[in-house]
Structure 1
């Protein structure tokens, strides 16, 4: 028995077959989800470990600490993003042209090696050694999201994108949730802060091995996938796997839906990274929590974000599947929840004092938690408007969105305003429909008008 569902000019054939259950597409998403969790930890463990790193009273005399680095803390933290923005767009193009498997695997392996080396580089070359490792980590983590978008656009049917895309990308707050208390507990224990970097570096190398064994570029080249599941996936994706499609740069940069995503991406990154970078220090300096409590409580908002995103993602897919709203409207609804509610919460912080730590923490949890709605909004919208170029579009967004990290310490009120503006702009400009410039053959059939006869190409062909 089968059902045909038509929505947003796209027909998706579904059936009550076993392909609805667990399949190879779920294995690929599981691998991507695991590395997103790991990478989020790798990126953020220094936020907590640096407190122990610059302490003048380590829990064990054998643990190296560098109190004279205290003034360099923000420099070490921000140096990651010097490298992170460099290869974003290029990674999207390389993934589209040559496939994302090798690019992603090699990048994560190099990233893991330099995470293992970070304590050694710090001991040998001072804080500049730490910065060097962080820059290289930024360079090698840059390809992650463009590669993930490229893979998801090939592996995930449109009617599953909110759930599967959220499963992968919500690994970021889950990774923070795990990393912050883990880093805090290890850094404040007798084993010392270097062990945090050894742990995550080892996990990254193990994942690389699993990726090269079980990862796959696409359903068409997978040796594990069944023909039934392959047909089910390919019926509702429109990625050109047979040929390399040139990137329509002019069409991309004159597309309102693209700008909707870019604007919201910038706002999201500004708010998210301000929160994730400043929350541990805010709780330490303003709310007066110690390191162990700090790391655990700093992770609480990201537990809320992970939970909220998993509550909203099936709703987003169900709204589309039941034809309640279009794809674009579903993305806008979830994105609005994820930006406007946190905006109100963040702005309200200006009315609270340091003598209200419990209420402050509740508001931070709400702000970060409800922000999980964006995982079902702009964050997967690239795959709707252009499955073929989704990786490149994510690369463009990450490049622009991560080039403003020096502004992270802007007050919470400004962050709230940015959420409002970007959320509204996404509502006005966003779309859930595949754009005509996604396919080369579609671009050849775009409306053409002869200047002399004032006739369209279709009318000229009819006359002939």
Structure 2
């Protein structure tokens, strides 16, 4: 019997079952594809806005918008203004209403807003576009807390980091597909509106599949085998009959916000997001303005780092699973090693990027690719740490962490808008890359010093503690009575 806190699983029969392909992997695949579509709808504007502001280089049949760099930064940040508002309550919603419903609403509504985007910008200009992206951000804001809650119910402990990384890798697939095809779509007869129509239609199709096959928990799933459900529930400690299971208990907010490992996780996620979204939202502009690439090659080059990022994520999943199952490294050491590789190596390549000349385009692309690719290794570090600290509150923790981190997603593009007043000025870009590198370095340093993968005491229901306290008081009172009796007898 292998034990992890209150969770356990057999190393024999059930472990063998855990290696087979089961219904939990279908859930993982559907979430992977849902993530891909959500991120495609999230990043399509990063390339489309280049065509919208310079349609002569893409498709002159569609209108061109003379927006300033600051206006462009406000547009790119508007999504995250809505995105962060629902992060914290989304974890509680997922626990109460189930992850299946929230993920369905997230993808379906995001798809509808994507389909409405071209009409919205034609009627109301940049202000209307900001409003629509804000609403799209609201519905996508529930995604990560919802997926964290789903994984806390579906992923056996021995498969936790691999399954969650596969789900999150859908984000890279969506980025790759959108950035790789958006240049061609913008230059085609369908123009830049097609970058919104295509993921919107696919998102509605995905919603249909998820409605049929998705489930919040193995216990609620009608298609899963009894053996697989038993293996998952035993691994997670959810194998009690329904009437014997613990009811949902209140979130221990005070203990959570005074927990050093959790606060360090928040800091680490914030610094990582600053670096990630600085690159994701600004790579198309950097390649277009500094390296002088047209929109077709811009889109292909912008997607290249995320192709390698996706490939590396999927290749490392078996290694991460093997390390967890073999227990060669304990979880804390494993998280810190992966996190250090994923956040400190990119610091060097990122800062070096700011010291290249405009004619060193090939080297710049190589450094960008290295920075983004290696950063994916951190998915096996801090990205899964909320499940380590408190599985019972995985969605709530992810909501808090992601809400805090996405404040950086708002600030980072705005900082670029104020610092980079001339997009062809490499010295101004150097400041941006140096800030991002310093953020990444300091975040991992904090995680190395204070981070842990141990389950925190506030993860458990407080009832056991309240029952133990009166018992301890009775024992102490009995001891005091005995001492007083002994003293009395001695005096006599």
Partner residue in 2 for 1:321: 325
Q: Does 1:5 align with 2:2?
A: yes
- The answer to whether the 8 Å contact 2:7/2:236 transfers is no
How far the C-alpha of 1:56 sits from its partner, in A, is 4.7
In structure 2, how many angstroms separate the alpha carbons of the residues matched to 1:59 and 1:188? 5
Q: Please, which moves more after superposition, 348-357 or 210-219?
A: 348-357
The reply on whether 1:407 has 2:412 as its aligned counterpart is yes
Distance 2:152 2:96 in 1: 14
Q: How many Å apart are 1:41 and its aligned residue?
A: 0.6
Tell me if the contact between 2:57 and 2:295 (Cα under 8 Å) persists in the aligned partners.
no
Please tell me whether the aligned partners of residues 388 and 455 of structure 2 are also in contact (alpha carbons under 8 angstroms).
yes
TM-score, scaled relative to structure 1: 0.92
2:128 and 2:475 mapped to 1: Cα distance?
Answer: 67
Aligned residues of 1:382 and 1:394 also touching (Cα < 8 A): yes
CA-CA distance at 1:76 after TM superposition? 1.3
Distance (Å, rounded) in 2 between the aligned partners of 1:342 and 1:206: 37
Structure 1 residue corresponding to 2:371, chosen from 353, 367, 373:
367
Q: Give per-residue Cα distances to partners, 1:436-458, cap 9 Å, x unaligned.
A: 1111057627996x9xxxx9669
SS in structure 2 opposite 1:11?
strand
Residues 248-285 of structure 1, C-alpha deviations (whole Å, 9 max, x = no match): 11111111121121111101110000010111111111
Deviation at 1:420, TM superposition (A): 1.1
In the alignment, the residues of structure 2 paired with residue 26 and residue 285 of structure 1 have an alpha-carbon distance, to the nearest angstrom, of 43
SS in 2 for 1:65: coil
Aligned to 1:394: 398
Q: Over aligned residues, Cα RMSD in angstroms?
A: 2.4
Corresponding residue number in structure 2 for 1:433: 454
Q: Which runs of 5+ in 2 are unaligned?
A: 417-430, 482-492
Aligned CA distance change for structure 1 residues 354 and 157 (closer, same or farther; 3 Å):
same
Cα deviation for residue 236 of structure 1 reads 2.0
Aligned mates of 1:447, 1:377 — CA distance in 2: 35
Higher fraction of helix:
2
Alignment match, 1:285: 289
Cα offset for 1:242? Answer: 5.1
**Could you tell me whether the CA contact under 8 Å between 1:7 and 1:326 is conserved in 2?**
no
Given the superposition, is the C-alpha separation of residues 335 and 19 from structure 1 closer, same or farther in structure 2, using an over 3 Å criterion?
closer
Matched with 1:181 is 180
The equivalent of 2:428 in structure 1 is none
Q: How many angstroms does 1:149 deviate by?
A: 0.2
How far 1:375 sits from its partner (Å)?
1.1
* Range with greater deviation from structure 2 (95-104 or 343-352): 343-352
Query: Where do 1:200-211 residues align within 5 Å?
Result: 200-211=199-210
3-state SS, counterpart of residue 220 of structure 1: helix
Match of 2:73 in 1: 74
1:138 match? 137
**What does 1:349-360 align with in structure 2 at a 5 Å threshold?**
349-360=353-364
Is residue 275 of structure 1 aligned with residue 293 of structure 2? no
1:326 deviates by 1.0
Q: In the alignment, does 2:111 pair up with 1:95?
A: no
User: Residue 167 of structure 1 aligns with which residue?
Assistant: 166
Partner of 2:24: 25
Following superposition, the deviation at residue 10 of structure 1 comes to 4.9
TM-score (normalizing by structure 2) = 0.87
Higher Rg? 2
Decide which of 248, 256, 260 is 2:252's aligned counterpart.
Answer: 248
Following superposition, which runs of at least 4 residues in structure 1 exceed 6 angstroms of deviation? 445-448
1:56-96 deviations in whole A, cap 9, x for unaligned?
A: 52655542333357763222111111101000001111111
**Farther-moved stretch of structure 1 (102-111 vs 395-404):** 102-111
The CA distance in 2 between the partners of 1:372 and 1:61, in whole Å, is 38
Distance, in Å, in 2 between the alignment partners of 1:389 and 1:22 is 27
> Would the aligned equivalents of 1:8 and 1:327 in 2 still touch at CA under 8 Å?
no
